[in-house]
Structure 1
């Protein structure tokens, strides 16, 4: 499964994809305070793949996506 977390009624300002709770958590941790951005756009901006971003979130911030989804 590509995306994790509960879907929200907020869209990514870059690509228009519907955000989920994980996207919001990652955005806030990385300093996207005014507008939250989807995980895919964050990966593109930093030049990493999804698994690498998630590993870094866990290493630096102790954040992991929900395992139940």
Structure 2
């Protein structure tokens, strides 16, 4: 799951016809498969979470202190 702040950022991450997200997902999947030494299935989603950088609760949820 990829969180962005605005809808416009979502479009940037996904790219034209989903090409950018597909490329990112493929590269990530190949890295994960190499790490684990086996095939994996990777699903990727882009979600708009408004102002998540300004909310301490959201930052903590994402692993920031």
- Larger relative contact order (Cα-Cα within 8 Å, sequence gap ≥ 6): 2
Indicate the structure (1 or 2) with the bigger Cα radius of gyration: 2
**In which range does the TM-score fall when normalised by the shorter chain?**
under 0.3
Larger proportion of helix: 2
State TM-score, norm by structure 1. 0.26
- TM normalised by structure 2 equals 0.26
